[in-house]
Amino acid sequence: MTQTDLARPRSLSNSLSTFLYQRPRFVMTLLLVPPLLWLGIIYLGSLFTLLAQSFFSIDDFTAQTIYEPTLATYARLFTATNLNIIFRTLAMASVVTIISGIIAFPLAYYIARFASGRMKALFYVAVMLPLWSNYLVRVYAWKLILAKEGAIHWSINSLGLGPVLDWILTLPVVEGSSLSTSYIGTTLTFVYIWLPFMVLPIQAAIERVPRSLLEASSDLGARPNETFRKVIFPLAIPGIAAGSIFTFSLTLGDYIIPQLIGSSRPFIGQAVYQFQGTAGDIPMAAAFAMVPIVIMAVYLAIAKRMGAFDAL
Amino acid sequence: MRSKQTQVSDRSKGKAGWGLKSAAWFGVLYLNLPILFIVLYGFTTDDASYSFPPPGLTTQWFAVTWARADFWDAFWLSVQVAFLSMLIAMVLGTFAAAAMYRFKFFGKEAVTLLILLPIALPGIVTGISLRSAFALGDIPFSYFTIVLGHATFCIVVVYNNAIARLRRSSPALIEASMDLGADTFQTFRHVILPNLATALLAGGMLAFALSFDEIIVTTFTAGQQETLPIWMFGELSRPRQRPVTNVAAIFVMIITFVPILAAYYLTRDTDDVAGSGK
């Protein structure tokens, strides 16, 4: 089969092949145009619509959008209440990213460097299964676990540590009647949901470290600890940065988790959702949605400098 | 033969300390124990609260869920949306990866950013952008508006998988194929595609899963239609029959478990294909 393919004299496909081979720019255009058209029109187009909407305003009496450029909506954005929402979301996203990094790193490192054969398959599935199973149900699982009558409260009470948990729940920032209505619950759930996004890029980054580099390091007299600190960890940083893009960004925009688990104090996502839905104030929702965009633009610029884009 | 292989790889991998080992296991348990609670609560007799341990166990919720037409409607809509989004993402993602790997051009970094953006920006931004665009363009919500949104953020997943594989495979293979007289299409068909196929399939499966799971963008692009996640979200706020959501979840988990394993076996061995190292 292959033989006849190869032996065939200049056929149509052959001349077309030569034609394409001699015109790499043409091939490149052919390949690039469909994805760029899709992303350019559908995605960028929508983003610009959003940007445009944020410069419109809403009529207080008729609740109709006034299609005249104005900065009034942005002026309304920077009130104390809204700044609080932004600050709260940023703090949550940072905490979630840091905790995810701390939990994900040893796991990723272990999978990449030490697990092999069946063990590696098991770990891989253990990271991928949660990523694949339904997002909403996993949030719901934590609602089950964190509820006042649920498993964690039950186990802690069985251990006789109930008063300690109650005391923790009265602390200033944490405050909530049970874990499922406190920031502890929100954080635990966020970390749980986004953790695989942190594990995978770190694992990939560590796996990409050539073995020869580690051998060179130990040949030059470095102990395993030193090799880790001076070779593996620095090379894993792009992976951590790449993972943090996901954990940070996903936390910034999520409105399901804080709605189901946590105190009723809103995050950016919920604010945007409410402005466009119940309030019908699309300009305000658009202006509010600009906040995570600006934050992510800054974040991506930093992540890029740390080599995150090469680790994706 | 198998044991020899394991031995060799074990030696080159070294042994982990107990600290690292327990930290790794902690991560795994943290990631997976909650799923067991979903299963457990699928059998509970308590359908109005979350009491632990469950007061009793029953299998009635499986029959209840099976008989719910709205569950099946949502399920099939999700399957259709995810499948079409996956196909679009696979075509566009592969094209983009091939161009980005093969060519250098002005504005390449901007293109990388553009591909990455739909997943780097929070879902709510994508969602509300699309919604405001649909509103401005008077486009009615439908099955296709959902797919439009999903395919957009699925492209990056396929792209990542494809470009990672391309970067790992050696250009020498392609050159050798050309030197041996194969034309562009033959090289593509016999060298590039077999090399890339598993990565594409794995990327496609991830895209499918991403779309199947998505709720944040979907709420903004779906109108009246209910994908499975939106259906479940509705179920959560219903005061009775809570375990139905759990049963639906168990069902979805069993269905997706097979492709995960498949994706793993597809991408596992190919990293070490002879001659593919750089």
* DSSP code, position A220: T
Q: What is the dihedral of CA B135, B139, B140, B141, to 10 degrees?
A: -80
* DSSP code, position B270: G
Domain of residue B49 covers: 15-58
List the single best residue of A20, A39, A209, A212 to mutate versus B (max B Cβ within 10 A): A39
B207: in domain: yes
Question: Do B28 and B154 belong to one domain?
Answer: no
Question: Do B76 and B21 belong to one domain?
Answer: no
* Structure tokens given for A263: 């105190």
* pLDDT tens profile B129-151: 898 888 888 888 888 899 999 99
Question: Do B129 and B251 belong to one domain?
Answer: yes
Question: Do B116 and B233 belong to one domain?
Answer: yes
CB A178 within 8 A of CB A184: no
CB A202 within 8 A of CB A109: yes
Cα separation of B119 and A250, whole Å? 9
Partners of B13 on chain A (C-beta within 8 Å) are 113-116
Question: Do B110 and B133 belong to one domain?
Answer: yes
Q: A11 vs A124, which has greater pLDDT?
A: A124
**Largest Cα span, chain B:** 72
> Residue B117: which of A53, A307, A247, A297 has the closest Cα?
A297
What pLDDT shows up at residue A115? 82
What pLDDT shows up at residue B273? 38
Cα separation of A237 and A232, whole Å? 9
Q: Percentages helix, strand, coil for chain B, rounded to the nearest 5?
A: 75, 0, 20
Tally of CB atoms within 10 A around B30: 16
Cα separation of A248 and B41, whole Å? 31
Domain limits, chain A: 79-311
B13 falls in which pLDDT band (50, 70, 90)? low
Of A124, A150, A286, the CB nearest to B128: A286
* pLDDT tens profile A55-75: 888 777 776 777 778 788 888
Cα separation of B181 and B177, whole Å? 7
What pLDDT shows up at residue B267? 66
Question: Do B143 and B262 belong to one domain?
Answer: yes
Look at residue A191 and tell me whether its pLDDT is greater than 90. Answer: yes
Q: Is the dihedral of CA A241, A243, A249, A252 positive or negative?
A: negative
Question: Do B54 and B75 belong to one domain?
Answer: no
What pLDDT shows up at residue A16? 80
Query: Locate tokens 């400098």: which residue?
Result: A305
* Structure tokens given for B232: 């479940």
Interchain proximity A31–B95, CB inside 8 Å: yes
- Which chain A residues in 190-229 lie under 8 Å from chain B, judged by CB atoms? 192, 195-196, 199, 204, 211, 224
pTM value is: 0.79
Say yes or no: A102 contacts chain B, CB-CB below 8 A.
Answer: no
Q: What are the start-end ranges of the H helices in B121-242?
A: 123-136, 143-168, 171-179, 184-187, 193-213, 216-221, 228-236
B4: in domain: no
Question: Do B91 and B228 belong to one domain?
Answer: yes
Cα separation of A306 and B133, whole Å? 34
Q: What is the CA radius of gyration of chain B?
A: 23
Question: Do B150 and B178 belong to one domain?
Answer: yes
B8: in domain: no
Number of domains in chain B: 2
Look at residue B49 and tell me whether its pLDDT is greater than 80. Answer: no
Secondary structure class of A9 (helix, strand, coil):
coil
* pLDDT tens profile B86-138: 999 999 999 999 888 888 888 888 888 888 888 778 888 888 889 888 888 88
What pLDDT shows up at residue A209? 85
A198 falls in which pLDDT band (50, 70, 90)? very high
Q: What ipTM does the predicted assembly reach? A: 0.78
What pLDDT shows up at residue B264? 66
What is the topology classification, in CATH, of domain A79-311?
A: MetI-like fold (1.10.3720)
A88 falls in which pLDDT band (50, 70, 90)? very high
Question: Do B254 and B169 belong to one domain?
Answer: yes
Say yes or no: A72 contacts chain B, CB-CB below 8 A.
Answer: no
What pLDDT shows up at residue B10? 41
